[in-house]
């Protein structure tokens, strides 16, 4: 997570309302963004349909690639809730990278994490089976959860929204997947939270579904 100082927030902060576009795919990129509060959906059109690539929480950054390679935006960004961003222009970004080692190191870590996540997300999107896509995406989201007495705890509402956005699977079908996971003692869904009881069990379940998907079973 990138740290956002009070000075940065006061100097570069900008507020976006829920549903407001931050930037669109194909636009020239002259700014990058740090999320202080709220939630941002990264999405693009793929194969004739709108596909969610990520739902980013506070502490995440986005839009940096357009500054680094001077290319157009590769995806669109939209605020999913009332969102406060720190907006860094190209000139400010270049100065921060050159003069602040911690920001530079943090950005490199974020880029590395983003590449690994993108590779995994591509694999998920190629899965033909709804259960496989939901389980694989849940496995990705475990990295954002908190350790609890039973396992990894995720906030239910936000997780369900993310699963629906990223997989294209309706909420009722996602709930049926959780019935399967609960019967296998892998994960359970409560009123306000989702608990991954066994991350290893979830990983094995996803591996099994991927092998079955490749075989066309």
Q: Could you read off the pLDDT of 2-14 as tens digits, one per residue?
A: 567 787 788 889 9
How many folded domains does the chain comprise? Answer: 2
Has residue 175 got a pLDDT over 90? yes
Tell which of 124, 141, 167 closes a domain: 124
Q: What is the pLDDT of residue 49?
A: 74
Has residue 178 got a pLDDT over 70? yes
The C-alpha atoms of residue 29 and residue 50 are separated, in whole angstroms, by 21
Has residue 21 got a pLDDT over 60? yes
**Residue the block writes with tokens 């409560």:** 190
Tens of pLDDT, residues 101-147: 776 677 777 777 766 666 666 666 666 788 988 998 898 888 778 88
Tens of pLDDT, residues 23-65: 999 998 889 899 999 999 988 887 677 778 888 888 888 988 8
Average pLDDT over residues 158-186: 91
Average pLDDT over residues 149-176: 89
Residues 93 and 16 occupy one common structural domain:
yes
Has residue 167 got a pLDDT over 60? yes
The C-alpha atoms of residue 173 and residue 169 are separated, in whole angstroms, by 6
| CA-based max dimension of the chain | 56
Average pLDDT over residues 182-209: 92
Residues 102 and 71 occupy one common structural domain:
yes
Residues 114 and 207 occupy one common structural domain:
no
Tell which of 87, 104, 124 closes a domain: 124
Average pLDDT over residues 77-93: 90
Q: What percent of the chain has pLDDT over 90?
A: 34
Q: What is the pLDDT of residue 179?
A: 94
The C-alpha atoms of residue 142 and residue 145 are separated, in whole angstroms, by 5
Residues 117 and 142 occupy one common structural domain:
no
Q: What percent of the chain has pLDDT over 70?
A: 87
**Which range, of 12-21, 70-79, 92-101, 163-172, averages the lowest pLDDT?**
92-101
Beta-bridge partner residues of 84 = 15, 37
Average pLDDT over residues 77-81: 94
The residue segments making up the domain with residue 32 are 6-124
Average pLDDT over residues 191-207: 92
| Helix spans in 19-100 (H) | 64-69, 90-99
Residues 120 and 144 occupy one common structural domain:
no
Tell which of 68, 92, 124 closes a domain: 124
């Amino acid at each position: 997570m990138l740290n956002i100082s009070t000075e940065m927030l006061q100097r570069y902060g900008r507020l976006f309302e829920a549903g407001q576009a931050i930037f669109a795919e194909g636009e020239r990129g002259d700014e990058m963004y740090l999320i202080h509060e709220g939630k941002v959906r990264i999405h693009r059109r793929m194969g004739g349909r709108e596909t969610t690539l990520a739902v980013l929480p506070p502490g995440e950054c986005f839009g940096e690639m357009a500054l680094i390679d001077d290319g157009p935006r590769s995806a669109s960004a939209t605020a999913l809730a009332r969102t406060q961003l720190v907006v860094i222009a190209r000139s400010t970004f270049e100065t921060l990278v050159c003069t602040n080692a911690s920001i530079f190191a943090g950005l490199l870590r974020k880029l590395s994490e983003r590449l690994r996540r993108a590779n995994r997300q591509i694999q998920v999107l190629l899965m033909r089976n709804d259960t496989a896509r939901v389980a694989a995406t849940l496995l990705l989201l475990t990295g954002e959860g908190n350790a609890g007495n039973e396992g990894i705890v995720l906030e239910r509402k936000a997780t369900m929204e993310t699963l629906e956005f990223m997989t294209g699977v309706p909420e009722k079908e996602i709930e049926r997947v959780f019935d399967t996971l609960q019967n296998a003692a892998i994960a359970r869904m409560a009123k306000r939270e989702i608990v991954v009881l066994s991350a290893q069990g979830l990983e094995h379940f996803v591996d099994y579904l991927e092998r079955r998907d490749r075989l066309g079973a």
